[in-house]
Structure 1
Amino acid sequence: MGIFPIRRKPNEMMRVLVITCIGVVFGFFLGVSFPTLTLPKLNLPSSLFPSFDLTYIEDKYTGLSTHALLNAWSSLGRAAINGFNETRIWVPTNPRGAERLPPGIVVSESDFYLHRLWGSPDKDLKIRPKYLVTFTVGYKQRKNINAAVKKFSDDFTIVLFHYDGQTTEWDEFEWSRTAIHISVPKQTKWWYAKRFLHPDIVASYDYIFIWDEDLGVEHFNAEQYLRLVKKHGLEISQPGLEPNNGLTWQMTKRRGDSEVHKDAEEKHGWCNDPHLPPCAAFVEIMAPVFSRRAWRCVWYMIQNDLVHGWGLDFAMRKCVEPAHEKIGVVDAQWIVHQSVPSLGNQGKSESGKAPWEGVRERCKKEWMMFQDRMTSAENAYYVALGIDPPNSTTG
């Protein structure tokens, strides 16, 4: 014999509903008639109220009437229901990984400003430096760096990257106590830059100087330099180099008859296009200065494993447009490249070669690797678009 579901008639459903309502009302008046009744004495099964501690409720509301307790219970119940029905936050426009946060709490950028451990946070900073200058240094070059730092005003945050592990020794200089010191042995400035100068970390600075330690700055003034950079619309720049000290490129040679220059004449066959490196859109990697916008692009181009940065100077033009107008050399503020082989001496002697020889070999190897990567990446991009890749992509 089959089993058939029992269907209640509408009249029966109404009867059940009325009885339920009467029970609720009766229970309410029953509770009111016992004002000193405590909840634990009800001895209700804990399974009915899995999320709340009845003893806690009684302790919290001791001396109150049952009516007040019922109001408190009702408030807790509404809170529980609201919690279960809470709208989940998901904001796709937030930075990656922060989609679950309300946009108003997201802080995606930072800086190197020093803050106190006491007082009000909004009164921590007397000034907010607008520019950032970094030097990759060893302690032996401290006198040179001391002279260089003095060329930068309080408008500059000073960061020293220490490749020799010596940091506290620099406290002999008063300015060192407010500088940022980052120390990792035997690393280059581009290794440091990739790890500590993310665009969102240095977003507060209008310009970022990423300089070597062996630069003579007797004829350099940072404020005057930036005045000319802004005047001539340079996004990537460097000071002119003293022409009598072993220049590699004509483009970076200081000229005595101009404030800024953006192109140069090189040896025959070196420049297939006068708008391309090394005849234009070119500065060297020893003393580059980047606008905030240009640095955001260059940082992404720096390779994580190619630590010497050779080849970057030929490719940085890809980060500004038109590059031959926005990359230039400031002649009126010039420096001397002293060519101190300090980082080279941090290498290791292998196969009978001096430490500096191994470092130089890797520099050249990295240049070739960077060129190959850039060419391959650009070709893959053009092929994906169904476009024939140009013959040359690295200048």
Structure 2
Amino acid sequence: MGIPLRSGNVRKPNEKMRLIVTTFAGVIFGFFLGVSFPTLSLTKMNLPSSLFPSIDLTYIEDKYSGLSTQAIFNALNSLKANKDVSVPPDKHNETKIWVPTNPRGAERLPPGIIASESDFYLRRLWGQPSEDLTIKQKYLVTFTVGYNQKATIDAAVKKFSENFTIMLFHYDGQTTEWDEFEWSKRAIHVSARKQTKWWYAKRFLHPDIVAPYEYIFMWDEDLGVEHFDAEEYIKLVKKHGLEISQPGLEPNSGLTWAMTRKRDDTEVHKEAEERPGWCTDPHLPPCAAFVEIMATVFSRDAWRCVWYMIQNDLIHGWGLDFALRKCVDPPHEKIGVVDAQWIVHQGVPSLGNQGQAENGKAPWEGVRERCRREWNMFQDRMTNAEKAYYEAMGLHPNLTMKHWD
């Protein structure tokens, strides 16, 4: 009976000593942990998510690095106490953006971020975007070209000042060859084989793309420009209020229409006398409200309308010149020919030679047949579209249109 008692008396001092040693070791460990804590990465410690629910440890580490351990834990307690107001709402219940007045497809974006228009301004790969442009061109000129006409195009481009963005549409696939000209290195080049300027225009000159330009020149490649200055042309267009225009054509260059013939007694003319029976109204084409499609110049607003009228599949544009009047009002006042700045139509059948010989016909013959066919197709589409609209409105105007052969 005495042995167990002695044994119990011996264990009590040992338990006290163990408790003292354990406490001392805990204090020492806590001290060193507290000293080293600011240098530890909370995000790298494998802490259970239940310890600090809904708290961003990275934020705490960044904000409170270098502070004492007590300050960090005070911050944790503060964040935990206010988590109901600082934590974002559940992702399934968050507020969504929907602005019906935004462009179609962009309704989910805040209006302030939408860039609805673009341009052809060339930018650098370095530096600040705000410092990219030393000049913003005010006008755009496009030429649909083949490399064989490089001399003519070189002469034409030099008639356009630095206020013009130069854009070449290459129907023969040759682009880098043009780099022999210094200006070509600053031009915009678009290449698609055997396509017309109206094919290019429909696909690359959307009104929102060319919106920065006050005027858009849509020119062929076979135009002599010895008597032409682009800046002076713009001045006359503005002076006479022309929304759609072209330079006068030299009278001895095989004209089709009296309207486009250059006159010597005026700066601009807006009407002409054609052959008997060609004009049912002196204010209608081809006696007024008419220019050809070889060297047309559009204001920004007029082009926005014309672009929508261009048909995707009717690539030659024949008949379009008779319908341009639908895009301005009054057309016989806002469409005209600039006589004081005139050009020569050289009549180079370059695009015609891009056709294909079929059934014993030369390539250019097939192209010409397609042009005439498209003219009739366009007139039919316009007449039918207008008829359908007026019938839907309960109106029945006379919509007959002359078919030109």
What TM-score, normalized by structure 2, do the two folds share? 0.82
Which digits, 9 at most, give the CA deviation of each residue in 1:267-324, with x for residues without a partner?
A: 1000000000000000000000000000000000000111000010000000000000
Contact kept? 2:386, 2:399, Cα under 8 Å: no
Q: Partner of 1:386 in structure 2?
A: 394
| Structure 1 residues 53 and 115: CA distance shift in structure 2, 3 A | closer
Query: Once the two structures are aligned, what percentage of the paired residues are identical?
Result: 71
Deviation, 1:93, is 1.3
| Structure 1 residues 76 and 174: CA distance shift in structure 2, 3 A | farther
SS in 1 for 2:87: helix
User: 1-side partners of 2:254 and 2:60: how far apart?
Assistant: 87
SS in 2 for 1:237: strand
Of the structure 1 ranges 171-180 and 72-81, higher mean CA displacement relative to structure 2 is found in: 72-81
SS in 2 for 1:101: coil
Q: Partner of 1:22 in structure 2?
A: none
Does 2:340 align with 1:327? no
Does 2:272 align with 1:264? yes
Deviation, 1:87, is 2.7
2:246 to 220, 238, 242: 238
User: 2-side partners of 1:329 and 1:41: how far apart?
Assistant: 80
Contact kept? 2:215, 2:298, Cα under 8 Å: yes
Please list, as runs of the form range in 1=range in 2, the aligned pairs for 1:273-284 lying within 5 A after superposition: 273-284=281-292
User: 1-side partners of 2:203 and 2:261: how far apart?
Assistant: 31
| Structure 1 residues 84 and 260: CA distance shift in structure 2, 3 A | same
Q: Partner of 1:72 in structure 2?
A: 79
Q: Partner of 1:217 in structure 2?
A: 225
Deviation, 1:392, is 2.5
Q: Partner of 2:375 in structure 1?
A: 367
Does 2:316 align with 1:308? yes
Contact kept? 1:374, 1:394, Cα under 8 Å: no
SS in 2 for 1:81: coil
User: 1-side partners of 2:227 and 2:125: how far apart?
Assistant: 39
User: 1-side partners of 2:81 and 2:269: how far apart?
Assistant: 77
Deviation, 1:43, is 6.4
User: 2-side partners of 1:141 and 1:220: how far apart?
Assistant: 18
Which digits, 9 at most, give the CA deviation of each residue in 1:29-83, with x for residues without a partner?
A: xxxxxxx9x999996779x96x7788x7998789465443233345665323275
Does 2:349 align with 1:341? yes
Contact kept? 1:234, 1:325, Cα under 8 Å: yes
Contact kept? 1:251, 1:279, Cα under 8 Å: yes
What TM-score, normalized by structure 1, do the two folds share? 0.84
Contact kept? 2:137, 2:165, Cα under 8 Å: yes
Q: For 2:288, give the aligned amino acid.
A: A
Q: For 1:278, give the aligned amino acid.
A: P
Q: Which runs of 5+ in 2 are unaligned?
A: 1-33, 35-41
Mark the structure with the bigger radius of gyration.
Answer: 2
2:118 to 95, 100, 110: 110
Q: Which runs of 5+ in 1 are unaligned?
A: 1-35
Query: RMSD of the alignment, in Å?
Result: 2.6
Does 2:128 align with 1:125? no
